[in-house]
Copies of this chain bind each other. A is one copy, B any other.
Amino acid sequence: MREAHVDDGAQTLTQLTTPAVVIDLDKVERNIRRHQDYADRHGLKLRPHIKTHKLPQIAAMQLRAGAIGVTCQKVSEAEAMVAGTPEIKDVLITYNIIGAEKLDRLAALANKVRLSVVADNETVVAGLSYRFASETRPLAVLVECDTGAHRCGVATPEDAAALAQVIAKSPGLTFGGLMTYPPPDGAAAVQAFMTRAKSLIEARGIVVPVITSGGTPSMAKAGDAPVTTEYRAGTYVYNDRSLVARGACGWDDCALTVLATVVSVPAPNRAIIDAGSKALTSDLLGLPDYGHILGRDDIRIDQLSEEHGRLVSEGPIGLKVGDRVRIVPNHACVVSNLVDQVYVTAADGTNAAGKTWDVWPVVARGRIS
């Protein structure tokens, strides 16, 4: 029932049931091209993180543009993406994978695609080795390194070298290289950590086949860490308000917007839309409020409840019940995770009469295990 209009290719954006997540594929294509070009210029292999779109169709666009494979964060994400398109043949899961059930699923996946994972501790390595010792092909395991984000990762190049050696000696595993998710502007730290770790590992007679860094905010300076061989970026494919705020892109580069309807104008400077935290999420990412209304710099989304977004303006808000607005969310990736489907269109304007759209199920949504 939520796809009531799907069979009618002549529908326009004004006819979509709101709230709706709308993707502009022309902008997606342009964002993919721009970042692939940057990677090519700097001799970096690009391995996009699918967390932003969770769509096999867009992963395929990234691969056709030159990406060497994809990055997923959880086994279930990888399963959904691989099931979604035969074009995905190489997957890196940048997560410590633990537990017999997940290891079984990982082994099944390793029979379908070229698979690698990461580890930052010996318990995880032992689990992977125990499960893969009986497989015909070894699993490539990269060491996750903490270059300043203080999330996961071994703390020093010495620890990285020690864990690399454990992996290299573990039955069923091969050492796959080094991985980090750096803080923004972390290129110098990445270069220093990885250069030293690589030399310590090579001194033990072990080859370091891959050094992978990531993050869209840092990508513009990825070339400043030339030790890196691969790069994992996600958000660049859509962009969002957090990246506009960082100066990484402009509003016109934002491919994902949330289309919403004004349902109430209870005061001259206040309007309520039908998109709340279930469409936009509560993610602030350091921003003062919950999204940007395209074309209306004077309006702030100052409050979200689950199904209501509150718009406030200094002067008269100039909206009436039934009007539609398009919102660039603070954080695109988490919006993709909220909806079962997105509306894909090459049209740009809210009232682009005659432009067509299509519905894509977000097959890797909600894959947290």
| Chain B residues whose CB sits within 8 angstroms of the CB of A264 once the complex forms | 96, 120-121, 124, 152-153
A79 → chain B closest CB, angstroms? 7
Q: Is the CB of B320 within 8 A of A272?
A: no
A74 and B51 CA atoms in complex are apart in Å by 28
Q: Is the CB of B266 within 8 A of A154?
A: yes
Q: Is the CB of B263 within 8 A of A96?
A: yes
- Is A131 engaged at the interface, CB distance under 8 Å to the other chain? no
Residue of B nearest to A321 (CB): B123
Chain A residues proximal to chain B, CB less than 8 Å? 1-2, 4-5, 17-20, 51, 73-74, 76, 79, 95-96, 98-99, 101-102, 105, 120-121, 123-124, 146, 150-155, 261, 263-267, 270, 272, 274-275, 277-279, 281-284, 303, 305-308, 310, 320-322, 333-334, 337-340, 366, 368-369
Copies in the complex: 2
| Chain B residues whose CB sits within 8 angstroms of the CB of A151 once the complex forms | 266, 272, 303, 305, 308, 310
Q: Is the CB of B306 within 8 A of A337?
A: yes
Q: Is the CB of B310 within 8 A of A96?
A: no
Residue of B nearest to A123 (CB): B321
15 of the cross-chain contacts (CB-CB < 8 Å) are A1-B76, A1-B79, A2-B369, A20-B369, A96-B264, A96-B321, A98-B261, A120-B266, A123-B322, A124-B321, A151-B308, A152-B266, A152-B272, A278-B334, A306-B337
| Chain B residues whose CB sits within 8 angstroms of the CB of A333 once the complex forms | 306
Q: Which of B96, B153, B263, B337 contacts A152 (CB 8 A)?
A: B263
Q: Is the CB of B263 within 8 A of A95?
A: yes
Q: Decide yes or no: A366 and B146 within 8 Å by CB, A120-B266, A261-B98 being known contacts.
A: no
